[in-house]
Amino acid sequence: MKIKTPQPIRGTQDIFGEDSLRFNHVVNKFDEIRKLYGFKRAEIPVFESTAVFARSLGETTDVVSKEMYSFPDRSGEQLTLRPEFTAGLTRAYLTSGWQQYSPCKIATHGPVFRYERPQKGRYRQFHQIDAEVIGAAEPEADVELLSLADQLLESLGIKQHVTLHLNTLGDSASREAWRAALIEYFQGHFDSLSQESQERLTRNPLRILDSKDPNDKIIAEKAPIIDDYLTEEAASFFKAVTTGLDAAGVAWTRDPRLVRGLDYYRHTAFEFITDQLGAQGTVLAGGRYDGLSEALGGNLTPAIGWAAGIERLAMLIDEPKEDAMNVAVIPLGEEAKNPAISILSKLRHAGISADMSWRGNMKRRMQKANGWGVRYAVILGEEELARNEATVRSMVTGEQQAIALDQIVDRILSELRNK
């Protein structure tokens, strides 16, 4: 009886070939740019106590109530696969002694998990890059983080298709005054709101502003905006952010309807939006979350961060070119195999990319070498071995010469450096 091959779980993906090239190009660029800004790499567990996300994201949010992968472990503790990075990084900041590095500039990437309907560019296990500044109350931290995001998108070659949408949520006093005004306004239109927005009205009225319901959108267009309720301090903070972005050469557009519903979000909120992905236009988003540490039992700790989906960014970039191999080692006959393995090892330890086909005659192995795009072929046959030599052929010019086995690595290194 033939065993049926298990199929991948719905909403997951196997990444290889061109998809892998795109994926790793995004990750490598992120790693390259974050170093320019002094952001240190951090690693945190892929699962946390469920309370970490329930407290940080809010018990009534869709992520917590509908989308989290939660389960009891064998001891009965309730655990959750991370649906995002910020809560786990804040927990680590509070429990792992990271306060000594404050302001803590952190960068990470990896898989996150949400149970939602899979569609193009959206999976149940997907991957994010994430950058945070924890312990900095200054608006310069906001400018720093947004500049990092802007330069990353530029280095990926997609900045021309992306617009930074920026808003302020004000400080606590500003936000509370605005929230009260929104409740009063939307109560006057209660019967016309969607059921979802009616449920949000007293619990999370700011979320009505980003409702996808067409009628909700019409009502929200005339809702009070935050500017009418900003304290002098909050207005000054936002002004410092926008003038800082101007000084850094980061283009932005004001979006007074852009919100974050959870109470611990303060001041800056932003999204980088593209016109290349249809309805799923947000490719990178974040905001200042000064109150999150308190929600997790810590002291008041100012912080700001953003996350971006790697798969979504990978869809926007041009196909990267895979780095070609430098050398193909071609043994001819059984006696040449181990000497070929020895040369292959020495080339790699010298930092020269090299590979060897394990089967086929001379013609097929040379075809394989051409497919790899190598610059040189090192050919080992009986006659070459008898002279303790190998034939090194330039795959660019066709020229070849006999070189002693113990000189091959140095010769190829020299040739590559002179190119």
52 and 139 fall within a common domain: yes
The CATH number of whichever domain residue 369 belongs to comes to: 3.40.50.800
Residues 138 and 287 in one domain: yes
Amino acid at 10: R
Of the three residues 291, 316, 341, the one that is the final residue of a domain is: 316
Residues 117 and 260 in one domain: yes
State mean pLDDT over 358-376.
Answer: 88
Please tell me the predicted confidence (pLDDT) of residue 358: 86
pLDDT at 61: 60
Same domain, 238 and 387: no
The mean predicted confidence, pLDDT, of the chain is: 91
Mean pLDDT of 232-259: 96
Q: Give residue 151's pLDDT band: very low, low, confident or very high (50, 70, 90).
A: very high
Is it the case that residue 60 has pLDDT exceeding 80?
Answer: no
- Residue 357's nearest CA partner among 328, 322, 320, 391 is 328
114 labelled binding-site residue: yes
pLDDT digits (tens, 9 = 90+) for 246-269: 999 999 999 988 988 677 889 999
Q: Which of 277, 272, 283 is nearest to 309 (CA)?
A: 283
122 is an annotated ligand-binding site residue: no
- Are 378 and 312 contained in the same domain? no
Largest CA-CA distance found in the chain, in angstroms, rounded:
95
- Among 316, 351, 377, the domain boundary falls at 316
Backbone φ and ψ for 142, nearest 5 degrees, come out as -65, -45
Q: Which helix (H) or strand (E) element contains residue 308? A: strand 303-309
Q: Residue 288 annotated as binding?
A: no
pLDDT value, residue 288: 96
Residues 374 and 241 both lie in one domain: no
Task: Calculate mean pLDDT across residues 388-415.
Answer: 92
Query: Are residues 59 and 29 part of one domain?
Result: yes
Task: Answer yes or no: is 132 a known binding residue.
Answer: yes
Task: Using the 3D structure, point to which of 316, 349, 372 is the last residue of a domain.
Answer: 316
What's the token pair of residue 374?
């190598």
Min mean pLDDT across 47-56, 116-125, 263-272 is at: 116-125
User: Residue 207 — very low, low, confident or very high, per pLDDT cuts 50/70/90?
Assistant: confident
Specify the pLDDT at position 65: 63
306 and 343 inside one domain: no
More reliable by pLDDT, 383 or 155: 155
Q: Mean pLDDT, to the nearest integer, of 327-346?
A: 92
* Residue 178 placed within a domain: no
Specify the residue for token string 């298709």: 161
d(CA 198, CA 193): 6
Which pLDDT does position 233 carry in this prediction? 96
pLDDT, residue 263, reads: 72
**What confidence score (pLDDT) does residue 321 get?**
87
> 243 labelled as ligand-binding?
no
SS3 380: strand
Q: Looking at the structure, tell me whether residues 275 and 346 fall in a common domain.
A: no
Whole-structure pTM value? 0.90
Domain that holds residue 167: 17-171+231-316
Q: Mean pLDDT throughout 81-110?
A: 96
59 confidence band (pLDDT: 50, 70, 90): low
Provide the CATH number for the domain around residue 90: 3.30.930.10
11-29 average pLDDT score? 95
Within-domain flag for 294: yes
For 172-211, give the DSSP string: HHHHHHHHHHHHHHHHTTGGGS-HHHHHHHHH-GGGGGG-
Q: Of how many residues is the chain composed? A: 419
Residue 86 in marked binding region: yes
Any domain includes 7: no
Question: How many other C-beta atoms can be found within 10 angstroms of the C-beta atom of residue 371?
Answer: 11
Share of the chain above pLDDT 70, in %: 97
117 and 237 assigned to the same domain: yes
**Is residue 219 a part of any domain in this protein?**
no
Both tokens assigned to 48: 């946390």
* Total domains, the chain: 2
Q: Are residues 249 and 124 both part of a single domain?
A: yes
What is the four-CA torsion angle of 186, 191, 194, 199, rounded to 10 degrees? 70
Q: Which two tokens stand for residue 344?
A: 């292959």
| Residue 31 within any structural domain of the chain | yes
Give the tokens for residue 85.
């990075």
Residue 56 pLDDT exceeds 80: no
Which tokens go with 346?
């020495």
Q: Measured between alpha carbons, how far is residue 68 from residues 9, 332, 411 in Å?
A: 16, 57, 57
Question: 164 with 275, same domain?
Answer: yes
245 domain residue, yes or no: yes
Q: What pLDDT does 305 receive?
A: 97
Residue 66, pLDDT > 80, answer: no
- Residue 264 annotated in ligand binding: yes
Residue 153 lies in a domain: yes
Q: What is the pLDDT of residue 30?
A: 98
| pLDDT given for residue 57 in this prediction | 72
Whether 188 is covered by a domain: the verdict is no
Question: Which of 43-57, 117-131, 133-147, 266-280 is most confident?
Answer: 133-147
